Structure 1
Amino acid sequence: MNIKRPLCLFAVSFILGILLINSIGLNPFLIISSMILLAIICLLKKLGNLKTIIFISLSFFIAGGMLFYNAEYRYTGSFNQYYGNPVEVKGFIDSEVQNSEDGKSNFVLKTESVIYKNKTFKVTNKILVYVNNINTKIGYRTKISFTGIVEKPKPATNPGGFDYRRYLASIGISGRIYLNGASDIQVSGQKGGGYLYRTGYAIKNRVIDIISYSLDKNQAGLLEGMLIGYKDGLDENAFTAFSKAGLTHIMVASGMNVAFIILPFTFIFKKLRLSSFKANIITIFILVLFVFVTGFSASVVRAVIMGIIILAGRIIMREPEIYTSISASALILLIINPYTLFDIGFQLSFGATLSLVMFYTQIKSFTECKYIPDLISDTLAATLAAQLGVIPVTLYYFNNFATFSIISNILVVPLVEFVTIIGFIMVFTGLLNIYLTVIIGYINNTFLSFILFVTEVTSKIPFSLLKLPTPTLGMVFVYYLFIIYIFKGRNYFKAKKYTKHLKRAITILIFIVFGVRALLPKPMEITFLDVGQGDSTFIRTAQGTKILIDGGGREANSKSEFDIGESVMVPYILDRGTKKVDIVIASHGHSDHTEGLEAVLSELSVGTVIVPETDGRGLEKINNICKEKNISVIKCKQGDRINLDKETVFEVLNPLPYKTDSLAQEDLNESSLVLKLVYKNVKVLFTGDSGIPSEERILKQGLDLNADIIKVGHHGSPGSSSNDYIKAVKPQYGVVSVGRNNFGHPSQFVIDTLEENGAKLFRTDEKGAVIATSYGNEFNIRTMIP
């Protein structure tokens, strides 16, 4: 039996090895690999001609796992003994120095040695360096040294959140360091080599200069992105508009650019009567140089590797098979850095390419019509085919679905080829005569302006971008099985008369993926989110009621533009597989608790909002949004009960009715809702920012404070969590919601008080989100950072 396209099988085996060791670790991986090997040895005689393929596939499987394990140590483990400690780092700058308008700069440093505790260690890795007000003349390959503290990049600190450590590992970076200024840097010379990089940077900067001189600002920014992947020319609003219009793929250099490079040069070399061997070798060199010009843009690297494989096939007089070429490209990238598998761009790029190859022809047969021009029908078929492959990926990572992407792509994509080719002509002309480039630029400016116009119009159409809940991995798996069956498998199984059996298998599979999970009892889950120096807790009761207490936010007078609601809260809730929150609770009116709720209330479906009974200070925006969206607002005070479901209730312990509550009138923190969650035999105390005055009053009133978990008051401030209060609560666990701050939170007093009373302490700045689950008798606690 012959296996068609064996390299595809080897690539899949390699990927499975990476995924398995990422999920279970080294030792279980080795055990499973050994068991598979033993099974193969036992079946060796029965396998016949397949034994070679199976043996090679297993080799790729093991190689994928071991290379990933090695990469994990290299990118995330080799600095372990130095993270968080003052060290002297020596190395050379391995990138361009990026300067921002606010005087801050950053660059990649290739380390050569680290001096730690007066001992020198050879460490050859890459770290990101951030420095303020740099005025020293440094650039690519400058040899420098400095003393500082290398930070270990954090993994995802909230469920479904962005894994910064994995992202940096995917581009070969192990850590980051912040320096105050250029005075911290000592320059020791220039390192030789790096000529292709130097040439690439020089060409890139020359291209940017030519385009910026020849076009209007917005048009220049778009063309720079399309030609060489330079994104700094476009502002955040433009990126948002392209996202809503479903046109982000045209803003970056990609496989399309590689095709536009190969085809003209193929034509030119043919006219010059160069041999096929020489023409393909020169084209390969040009493609490699293009990679350096784009700064090793991931999308360009992927496309160039595939282009080189096709050209290499022509050199050896063999026409490459497309699936084999895709598999070879993926293998090369993953062998270089196995972390690339988790790069979103890698998944989108290969998903779209495979989808185009698999589905384009059949979709084209549906879109062909004598009333529709071929150009439009081709664009429509290509857009639909690519979208089929990437919809689950974009929903899984971004929760976005561009409803008018088909229309915008039909209008824009046919122009992209002309814009790109004219753009390259502008660049080559600009090297000879910049004024002639300006004249040619008038033509391209028209096309680019039309693209920007279509983008702006379609992005402003109501519901142009839908926010949808994150699909589960089971749903993604079933989706891909379904579309492959519809476009590829249906006719095959019909011809083989397997349709009836296949339908039964699909029904059983769907039941396993969705039915069994739905039938299993679910625990109550409480997630104390990492929102920096703020508070936020998401609760899902055993019967499915969803409650959000606070939403984090910026401290008063903070100059930060980071929107915690848009960037953290809304994506987190969508990642829970829902667009609806039954109850939103604002513990009190301080912005570090309420600001993130604004985006939740504006963008998601909210049933009821609960606030403390106060004069409304700090809650004005919340109330206004609720009024606009017709969301009911309920004010609560001590003695009230909030029934969440048949088994779960909130008891309100603070504040008193506002007119009689002198503490709340004097201090907004003391107006905080103090809520005791009761579910069967377990209890959790939520304290907002309430301090010792509120605690003393509650103690005097003799209220029952006993709880298994306490959300520690006011981020662990010394003005909260008195010894008598913690004794009355008797918590097994204490959770401090805290971020980097100048207040000394949490205070040593609070830490000592909790530990002396037998509570195990979890801090969100150290452990990320803290997830507590219970079926009603005890809590199981896990954290995002072990």
Structure 2
Amino acid sequence: MSPGLDLRLAPAAAAVWAVTLVGLLVGWTAAAALAALALLVVPLVVPAARHRAWARGALVVLLLAGVTAAGMAVRAHRAEHHPVRQAAHHGERLTARVTLTSAPVPLHGPSFGARRAQDRALVRAELETAEVRGRHVRAGGPVVLLVPTAQWRELIAGQRVTVHGKAAPPRPGELTIAAVQVFDAPAEVAPAPGWQRAAADLREGLRSTAAAELGPAAAGLLPGLVIGDTSGLPPEVAQDFDAAGLTHLMAVSGANLAIVCGAVLLLLHLVGAGPVLSVLGAGAALVGFVVLAGPEPSVLRAAAMGAISLLALALGRRRSALPVLSASVIGLLLLLPELATSPGFALSVAATAGLVLLAPAWAAGLRDRGVPIGAAEAVAVPLAAHVVTAPLVAALSGTVSLVAVPANLLAGPVVAPATVFGVLATVVAPLSAWLAGTFTWLAAPELEWLVLVADRAAAVPGGAVDWLPGTAGGLLLAGLLLVVLIALRGKRIRVLVSVALLLVVLVLVPVRNAVSGWPVPGWSMVACDVGQGDGLVLATGRPEEAVVVDTGPDVERATACLQRLGVRRVPLAVLTHLHADHIGGLAGLLGEFAVGAVAVGPLREPAWAMREVVRNARAHRVPVVPMQSGQRASWPGLVLDVLAPDPALARTQTAEDANDASIVLLATTPAGRLLLTGDVELPAQGRLLSSGVDLRADVLKVPHHGSRYTTPRFLSAVRPRTAVISVGDGNSYGHPSPFVVDTLARAGTAVLRTDHEGDIAILPGPHGPRHVSRGDPLRAVDR
């Protein structure tokens, strides 16, 4: 053991974490067995503990593991046998009185069909009483509510409400009693405690001040930096921060609290306050920040990690900080066991460990080589955090960022002042709008710099490389990094590694796309792998220009596909219909590319979707134009003929007819005729067949992700050589239908699926269109 490290509590922290995972993932019986085993082994270790240090350490591990296992067994048994959990297994309805422990958080995952994810919000609550099958239940416990956003958005933590809903089992690995689907407004709403109401008013004051004083991107970013509220951040900006490895700046983390408490310490030091007063002041600031952000598990976790960061900075010694980190992990897991399965908790622990273990040594090494103190720490801190968290990020996302470290180096110097000015604006907003505006104005340059850094870093070609996802990928990267860190202790190897990194950054990354075979030259259409949705790209024959037909369910995947293709201009974006899995990526498209116009059909339903399309288009000064049967648009290498819908039908259709109101396009390209059908089902297919229009096409974009609602007569009329099905891997809709796939295959049609192939390019061939899947140019097949 290195004399500079105190690892005595680290095994205990690892044991507590492991035992907690067993209780969460395996169940109460396994936790009880571990508790009994620890109880049996402790007497065997006690005699040796009187004389040997290793035995004393083992005794501590056994005692803490046993206490943890016993507590998990009790908690898991209580959750598993809770009357509401039993009702949840049968999907029964209930009426419950609960106390909210969090404010409603709109869901931002992929949306499908007519309902957008943001229409639903997640609320955590503590159950007080419930009525199940006419039986009154008084047993409490944590529950998760899935509620309508519009009717719940004004509620805050601490309020007591009555809900009526349908119970469902919670996700595995949780001590939550049940998840409750609620479709009505809350009843019997009680006021929140005064301190919760005051904190909510402060948060609203920050959002209002930022919206009044800053541009859209900066106004959405400031609440994210201060309290982790990203609800107002434009989707394209959020995407840039994610690609640049800067998302952690917009989550309430230990860094936020370290900045705020560090500023308080600095101020108290400048006025000559003593150590006791300084500690009390910093502690008050920490508590106040927790109240402001909300005492939720993620914030409490951040408070503990922020306190450790402050301790490390104050003491300047790794030996003192590491035991505190281990003790904090133990305490947090005993208090909030569900943190054991939280990626955020794991990332926080890893980043804090990197801060207290690696960063001081690396900063000292840089200072010894003549690097100024401030610059040495500015390089060492983000580099250490990135190295220790990279395996976890790779395991979770399947990617390794090559731009995260330089992006964080550029962003780091302005994060602290922007956060401090944001906190000051929040605190003074109730007292003086002018003063709050002044602090917000002072934060503006830093916020704009962060937006610029994220934008430029996200635009770097090859800035993120694909990696093996899951535990295996994380362990592989961790092993490689460990080998590199050990090897770097030799001077010659450091030089070789430095040269290798320069070659990777300067040579391999820029040419990676060029030699990968993607994008394949001469493509006419690309069906982007956007998950469970549609996202098609049509080349116009002009360099770096393409028409887009639908944008998928989220802001990231369609935009990334266009960037891989080298598209810069989109003269026309066609939204075949207004379901979320076809329009979800529009905001990202408008934010990243020069878009000429957005085309929509005559049916403007669902109404919420049309409002969202208009709002996003107006924000980027892009016109929304109508598209209907009989229209034609042409470019040098592309002609679009609109075959449907008939505008006369829109007067009799409703939101339920949105699929059959899809825009149907016949694209004439160098690769042949391409029929793009949106989500048309049996009625619309019948109208196309009876219209007498020539439906023959070389390539068919199969309607509605290959659903069963496609008639063989329609497929026979099209007679495609190639059929493309845009569908999400493992979707819950059963798409594509085996019947449709078999019908196409029996007709000799090559059936391609984005869930199997990834991005699919259609291009001219000597005997008709051929296709190439992204990342495998040898799969080009002539048809």
Q: What is the count of residue pairs matched by the alignment?
A: 542
The one-character-per-residue Cα deviations of 1:412-451 (angstroms, maximum 9, x if unpaired) are: 2112222223333444554543234434544422222122
For residues 19 and 103 of structure 1, the distance between their equivalents in structure 2, rounded to whole angstroms, comes to 33
Instruction: Tell me how far 1:348 sits from its aligned partner.
Output: 0.9
Letter in 2 for 1:461: V
* C-alpha distance in structure 2 between counterparts of 1:312 and 1:371, whole Å: 27
Any conservation in 2 of the 1:5–1:323 contact (CA below 8 Å)?
Answer: yes
Which amino acid in 1 is paired with 2:226? L
Aligned to 2:135: 119
Q: Deviation per CA, 1:230-268: give whole Å up to 9, x if none.
A: 111212211110111222222233222222222332344
Counterpart position of 2:169: 152
Show the counterpart of 2:95.
Answer: 88
- Partners of 2:131 and 2:137 within 8 A in 1: yes
> Distance in 1 between the 2:268 and 2:209 partners?
26
Residue aligned with 1:110, SS: strand
- In 2: Cα distance, 1:315 partner to 1:364 partner: 16
Measure the CA separation in 2 of the matches of 1:312 and 1:447.
27
Q: Tell me which of 673, 689, 692 is aligned to 2:737.
A: 689
1: distance between equivalents of 2:41 and 2:260? Answer: 49
Q: State the distance in 1 between where 2:312 and 2:347 align.
A: 26
Whole-angstrom CA distance in 2 between matches of 1:490 and 1:37: 45
Using the alignment, how far apart are the partners of 1:294 and 1:565 within structure 2? 28
Find the counterpart in structure 2 of residue 254 from structure 1. Answer: 253
Check conservation: 1:226, 1:250, Cα contact below 8 A: yes
TM-score (norm 1): 0.57
Equivalent runs, 1:72-471 vs 2, <5 Å: 72-73=76-77, 78=82, 79-83=84-88, 84-97=91-104, 107-124=123-140, 125-131=142-148, 134=151, 141-153=158-170, 155=171, 165-166=172-173, 169=174, 174-179=178-183, 181-182=184-185, 185-187=186-188, 190=190, 194-270=193-269, 276-296=275-295, 300-308=299-307, 321-364=320-363, 367=366, 374-470=373-469
Whichever residue aligns with residue 71 of structure 2, its letter is L
AA aligned opposite 2:144? I
The DSSP-based 3-state class of the residue aligned with 1:296 is coil
CA distance, structure 1, for counterparts of residue 265 and residue 347 of structure 2: 28
8 Å contact 2:226–2:252 — kept in the other structure?
A: yes
State how 1:654-669 maps to structure 2 within 5 Å. Answer: 664-666=712-714
- Please state how far the C-alpha of 1:356 moved relative to its aligned partner: 2.5
Q: Is the 8 A contact 2:20 2:72 kept in 1?
A: yes
The alignment's TM-score, normalised by the length of structure 2, stands at 0.57
Q: Deviations over 1:678-704 (max 9, x none)?
A: xxxxxxxx9963559989x99xxxxxx
Residue type of the alignment partner of 2:532: G
1:302 is paired with a residue whose SS is: helix
Name the SS of the counterpart of 2:294 in structure 1.
coil
Two-structure CA RMSD over aligned residues (Å): 5.5
Q: Deviation string for 1:114-152 (max 9, x for gaps)?
A: 112221011323331413653998665444324321222
Q: Are residues 29 and 482 of structure 1, via their aligned partners in 2, closer, same or farther at CA, if it must alter by over 3 Å?
A: farther
Q: Following the alignment from structure 1 to structure 2, what is the Cα–Cα distance between the partners of residues 177 and 669?
A: 44
Q: Distance between the aligned counterparts of 1:64 and 1:626, measured in 2?
A: 67
CA 206–55 in structure 1, closer or farther in 2 if over 3 Å, else same: same
CA distance in 2, matches of 1:482, 1:382: 20
Counterparts in 2 of 1:484 and 1:70: CA distance versus 1, 3 Å: farther
1:553 to 526, 532, 539: 532
Within 2, Cα distance between the matches of 1:692 and 1:349?
48
Write the distance in 2 (CA, Å) between the matches of 1:239 and 1:177: 28
| Pair 268,408 (structure 1): closer, same or farther in 2 beyond 3 Å | closer
Q: How does 1:712-727 map to 2 (within 5 A)?
A: none
What amino acid sits opposite 1:145 in the alignment? T
Describe the shift of the 1:433–1:360 C-alpha distance in structure 2 as closer, same or farther (beyond 3 A). Answer: same
Q: State the partner residue of 2:15.
A: 13
For 2:532 and 2:346, locate their aligned partners in 1 and report how far apart those are by CA, in whole Å. Answer: 32
Question: What's the counterpart of residue 634 of structure 2?
Answer: none
3-state DSSP class of the match of 2:295?
coil
Whether the 8 Å CA contact 1:92–1:191 is kept in 2: the answer is: no
- Identity among equivalent pairs (%): 17
Aligned residue type for 1:91: V
Task: Using the TM superposition, give the Cα deviation of residue 290 of structure 1 relative to its aligned residue in structure 2, in angstroms.
Answer: 0.8
3-state DSSP of counterpart to 2:9: helix
CA distance in 1, matches of 2:476, 2:66: 27
Q: Check conservation: 1:359, 1:487, Cα contact below 8 A.
A: no
Q: Deviation digits for residues 515-542 of structure 1, max 9, x if unmatched?
A: xxxxxxxxxxxxxxxxxxxxxxxxxxxx
For residues 608-655 of structure 1, the C-alpha deviation after alignment (integer angstroms, 9 at most, x for no partner) is: xxxxxxxxxx9x999999989xxxxxxxxxxxxxxxxxxxxxxxxxxx
Distance in 2, Cα, partners of 1:370 & 1:626: 61
Do the aligned residues in 1 keep the contact of 2:143 with 2:177 (CA within 8 Å)? Answer: yes
- The answer to whether the Cα contact below 8 Å between 1:26 and 1:69 also exists between their aligned partners in 2 is yes
- For 1:587, the equivalent position in structure 2 comes to none
The answer for unaligned runs of 5 or more in structure 2 is 108-115, 491-528, 536-549, 562-578, 586-661, 673-709, 722-733, 747-783
State the shift of 1:178 in Å: 2.4
Q: In 2, Cα distance between the equivalents of 1:401 and 1:626?
A: 37
The DSSP-based 3-state class of the residue aligned with 1:232 is coil
Whether the aligned pair in 1 keeps the contact of 2:32 and 2:69 (CA below 8 Å) is: no
What secondary structure does 1:230 align onto? coil
Cα–Cα, structure 1 residues 26 and 259, in superposed 2: closer, same or farther, change >3 Å?
closer
Instruction: Please say if residues 149 and 177 of structure 1, whose CA atoms lie closer than 8 Å, have aligned partners that are also in contact.
Output: yes
Distance 2:385 2:670 in 1: 40
Q: Does 1:53 align with 2:57?
A: yes
Supply the AA of the counterpart residue of 1:689. S
SS in 1 for 2:468: coil
Q: In structure 1, what is the Cα distance between the partners aligned to 2:314 and 2:418?
A: 31
Q: Is the 8 A contact 2:312 2:356 kept in 1?
A: no
C-alpha distance in 2 between matches for 1:301 and 1:552: 35
Aligned equivalent of 1:514: none
CA contact (8 A) 2:28 2:72 kept: no
What SS class does the counterpart of residue 384 from structure 2 fall into?
helix
Compared with structure 1, are the counterparts of its residues 98 and 626 closer, same or farther at alpha carbon in structure 2 (3 Å cutoff)?
farther
Distance in 1 between residues matched to 2:275 and 2:313, nearest whole Å:
8
Aligned to 1:614: none
User: Contact 1:276–1:315 at 8 Å: present in 2 too?
Assistant: no
Distance 1:218 1:390 in 2: 27
Matches of 2:356 and 2:671, distance apart in 1: 51
Distance 1:626 1:363 in 2: 57
- How do 1:771-782 residues align onto structure 2 when only pairs under 5 Å count? none
Q: Distance in 1 between matches of 2:203 and 2:366?
A: 40
Give the CA deviation at 1:455.
Answer: 1.5
Q: Which amino acid aligns with 2:85?
A: N
Larger displacement relative to structure 2 (196-205 or 238-247): 196-205
One-letter amino acid of the structure 1 residue matched with residue 466 of structure 2: K
User: Is the alpha carbon distance of 1:311 and 1:277 closer, same or farther for their aligned partners in structure 2, counting shifts above 3 Å?
Assistant: farther
1:478-493 alignment, distance < 5 Å: 479-480=477-478, 483=481, 487=485
Return closer, same or farther for 1:133/1:444 CA change in 2, 3 Å cut-off: closer
Q: What is the aligned counterpart of 2:69 among 54, 60, 65?
A: 65
Question: What is the identity, as a one-letter code, of the residue corresponding to 1:322?
Answer: A
